[in-house]
């Protein structure tokens, strides 16, 4: 079905999961959804050879899902990695697998977006990818919520400038920290309870973790929007709010603000960064 097409592989290495997205090279941009995606658990350590073997498996799965015949050899790749020890092995593996260049999100890579941050080099590559995608797809101003090991809120003002955000513990991290710090508290899965008032310890913990996260997101959004309006960063009209990451759809249903769920936002941002950083083709 897609024979004869060149492909771009986007790789988002997070603290808990690694997500992969496949895009057609000629249309790789944030406006396009990936042809296929897959996800694996982030290892605590990995060699370049091990990463390459995982890539072979991943590309086989992506090719099957996208209907790509034969062996998939991406023309290029874009890598976002928030785990410093894993960046080199994955970059090396991608360089050995792709037929073209491998871009790594970080200092020196063009974003097409003004950044007002004390030290732009501190901004995580996943945060950059989210902001780039949101700006391209949903316009400016815009707010992004990314649920993962941490819960991140990113803010793009009315002029299309990334102006910062919020970083807080994520759902799973919050649940683990309770049982780790308090000897009598059990480990619980962060699933939404049916009641706010828990009738046993596990229900009470799930309420605190999940509904507490919902309350924090709603409260932070109220404060972020108020600050944006006070500083004229919000412009006129409503500010789109996009949510992505782990359990985004389930959490969006509980949050009081109107949210747009975009499960592939980070991968779409990586595709957009590829487009922005393409070298001009010779005539």
Q: Is 65 an annotated catalytic residue?
A: no
- Residue 89 CA to residue 32 CA, distance in Å, equals 28
Residues, the chain = 283
Considering the candidates 12, 126, 146, 262, report the single residue annotated as catalytic: 126
Strands 36-41 and 76-81: unpaired
Strands 36-41 and 17-24: antiparallel
Helices 125-138 and 265-276: crossing angle, nearest 10°?
A: 90
- Residue 145 CA to residue 242 CA, distance in Å, equals 6
How does DSSP assign 199-255, residue by residue? SSHHHHHHIIIIIHHHHHHHHHHHHHHHHHHHTT-S-SSPPPEEEEETTHHHHHTTS
- Distances in Å between the Cα of 254 and the Cα atoms of 88, 209, 216, 220, 251 are 39, 13, 12, 15, 5
* The two three-digit tokens of residue 19, written as one number: 């997500």
What is the chain's percent helix, strand, coil content, to nearest 5? 40, 20, 40
* The two three-digit tokens of residue 225, written as one number: 């929007």
Catalytic residue list = 126
């Amino acid at each position: 079905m897609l024979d004869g097409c060149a492909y771009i592989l986007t790789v988002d290495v997070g603290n808990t999961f690694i997500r992969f997205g496949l895009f057609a090279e000629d249309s790789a941009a944030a406006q396009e959804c990936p042809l296929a995606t897959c996800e694996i658990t982030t290892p605590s350590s990995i060699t370049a050879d091990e990463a390459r073997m995982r890539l072979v498996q991943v590309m086989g799965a992506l090719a099957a899902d996208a209907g790509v015949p034969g062996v998939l050899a991406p023309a290029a790749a874009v890598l976002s990695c928030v785990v410093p020890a894993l960046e080199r092995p994955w970059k090396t593996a991608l360089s050995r697998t792709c037929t073209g260049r491998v871009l790594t999100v970080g200092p020196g890579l063009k974003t097409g977006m003004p950044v007002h941050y004390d030290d732009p080099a501190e901004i995580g590559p996943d945060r950059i990818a989210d902001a780039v995608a949101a700006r391209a797809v949903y316009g400016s101003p815009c707010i992004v919520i990314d649920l993962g090991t941490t819960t991140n809120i990113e803010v793009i003002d009315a002029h299309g400038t990334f102006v910062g955000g919020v970083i807080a513990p994520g759902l799973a991290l919050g649940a683990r920290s309770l049982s780790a710090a308090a000897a009598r508290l059990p480990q619980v899965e962060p699933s939404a309870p049916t009641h706010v008032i828990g009738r046993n310890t596990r229900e009470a913990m799930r309420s605190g973790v999940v509904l507490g996260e919902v309350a924090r997101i709603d409260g932070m959004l109220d404060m972020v929007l108020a600050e944006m309006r006070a500083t004229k960063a919000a412009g006129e009209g409503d500010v789109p709010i996009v949510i992505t990451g782990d359990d985004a759809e389930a959490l969006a249903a509980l949050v009081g603000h109107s949210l747009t769920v975009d499960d592939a936002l980070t991968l779409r941002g990586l595709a957009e960064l590829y487009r922005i950083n393409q070298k001009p083709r010779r005539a």
